[in-house]
Amino acid sequence: MIEGVIFDLDGVLVSTDELHYQAWKRLADEEGIHFDRRINHRLRGVSRMQSLEILLERAARRYSPTEKTALAERKNATYRRLLERLSGDDALPGAREMLRELAGRGVKTAIASASRNAPAILQRVGLAGQADALVDGNDVTRSKPDPEIFLLAAERLDLPPRACLVVEDAAAGIEAGRRAGMAVFGIGTPDRLPGVEHLAESLAQVTVEQLLAAGQTG
């Protein structure tokens, strides 16, 4: 019986992919490092520092830990400036309705995002306070596919992992949900999320009944 649904943020409830890409691309260009959308796809669902390591794979020199921290801060400063463009229109189709319907049925909800900017994003798109719990990059030390973020979300919902369903759009997040002992539901397409039994292109294309039923069948 599913008693809690844990949503990833970016790509599930909100889309800031393009803003992330623009911020990483600007950093790469400033450092003279090749970076394109194909490389950017590898950054989905992983932490800021892991994303930086992927970007630096094509760097002509090595960067010290201090330099890496500074690079990550530069990227984040650019990204936060870009976030000022967000508004209520940037919540993805079906996001508000799904959170509202689950609450109406007494199903607990949490948002679990690797982004340390999650509170600011939720505030700008009008979703702050719409879930029962929030776990973001400030709360965890291990990135997906490690299950830490989802286990902490279940703890904050006061639910055992087996009573939770994870909704994710990234392969690393799907794997993290499975490692946490939770059922998973994918947002995306079969080519992006191969092997995911329960899948829809957006929350607007799935009903609450389908979501909860997927949790009961794994």
pLDDT at 3 over 60: yes
DSSP letter, residue 126:
T
Q: Which of 10, 90, 136, 169 is catalytic?
A: 10
Question: Phi and psi of 191, rounded to 5°?
Answer: -70, -30
**pLDDT tens, 168-204?**
999 999 999 999 999 999 999 999 899 999 999 999 9
Go through the domains of the chain in sequence order and give each one's CATH number. Answer: 4-15+88-217 (3.40.50.1000), 17-83 (1.10.150.240)
Distance CA 122, CA 213 (A): 27
Tell me the angle at which helices 171-179 and 148-157 cross, rounded to the nearest 10 degrees. Answer: 60
Contacts of 57 (CB under 8 A, 6+ apart): none
Q: What is the arithmetic mean of pLDDT over 18-23?
A: 92
Tens digit of pLDDT for each residue in 84-110?
Answer: 989 988 899 999 999 999 999 999 999
Single out the catalytic residue among 8, 90, 136, 169.
8
**Residue of 151 and 85 predicted with greater confidence:** 151
Higher pLDDT, 49 or 44: 49
Check if 8 is active-site.
yes
10 catalytic? Reply is yes
